[in-house]
Amino acid sequence: MSDSAAVEATMRKVRHLEIRAKKLVTETFGGDYYSSFKGQGLDFNEFREYQHGDDVRFLDWNVTARTGTPYIRTFREERELSMVVAVDISGSTHFGSGSLRKIELAAELAAVLGFSAQKNGDKTGLLLFANEPVLFLPPAKGSKQILRSIREVLTTKPDNPTTNLPAACNFLVRSIRRRALVFLISDFLDTDLGQPLATLAHKHETIALHISDPLEKELPAVGKVNFRGSETGHLTMVNTSNSNARMAYRKLSRRYREGMRRQFHRFGIDHVSLSTAENYLPSLQHLLKTRAPNSS
């Protein structure tokens, strides 16, 4: 495929995702986002003279001393929230056993979250990472920011395809000063989540979206198959017709997912698993509805 044809194919994907994401946000998803994330609380508004009945805790002693008259600080509810979608673009995310690769699912999730944030009046940012942070778009408003984010998720290739989630977490902690909402989209095959993830969750509201493919849970019995590691390049021959091999694979996959969930629980991170072979919307909506203040 020529460069111009590749660009045109990418733009068709971006336009398709834009149309689909906007439709989902308008018809089903936007309200769930809004009810789950309503801004950061109170933001300073102005000083005014103290009036009888005002809360003395809001007295500003510097202004009071300077003017000789009691002044208090007043606040307004801050509705705007900055959202950053951090997407794993390591080699393993480019795998897909069906019509959809994990990276394509990640791009659609980024589109839906981006247009939901836009409808809520929030800024959106993007971090792409693999072995190290690859691309960072600071939070900004506007459709151009969202469309560029979708395009970058689909087209950016890291120099090193291995995964280093702690490095991405450290980068976000250093780069985003004000408390923000962070969506981590990854297959989380880097099992060493560690302290950087805990630090990120402490500083920013963090939600993990675990993307997976059905073949990562269970192997079909199709005989001897050569498996190439998407991040290491190593070849491994597996006889998938061997029931013991399939059972061992299934157990290993289950232990990996259970360990991942334990770490998320330990760090207080809400999470959901989304498959390339299933409609992700019900699971994502359920996660956000359980986060809503009035949910039981």
pLDDT confidence bin for 81, thresholds 50/70/90: confident
pLDDT in tens, 168-178: 999 999 999 88
Position 75 scores a pLDDT of: 62
pLDDT in tens, 198-226: 999 999 999 999 999 999 998 887 887 77
Radius of gyration of the chain (CA): 23
Fold (CATH) for 3-38+80-291: Rossmann fold (3.40.50)
User: What is the dihedral sign for C-alpha 233, 128, 194, 253?
Assistant: negative
Q: What's the CA gap between 10 and 28, in Å, rounded?
A: 26
Domain regions of the chain by residue span = 3-38+80-291, 41-78
DSSP 44-68: EEEEEE--TT--GGGB-HHHHHHHS
Contacts of 96 by beta carbon, 8 Å cutoff, 6+ apart: 102, 104, 213, 276
Token readout for 209 is: 């979206």
Provide the 10 A C-beta neighbour count for residue 287: 18
pLDDT in tens, 227-281: 776 667 677 787 878 889 889 989 989 999 999 999 999 999 999 999 999 999 9
Q: Please give the helix or strand (H or E) that residue 186 lies within, else none.
A: strand 181-186
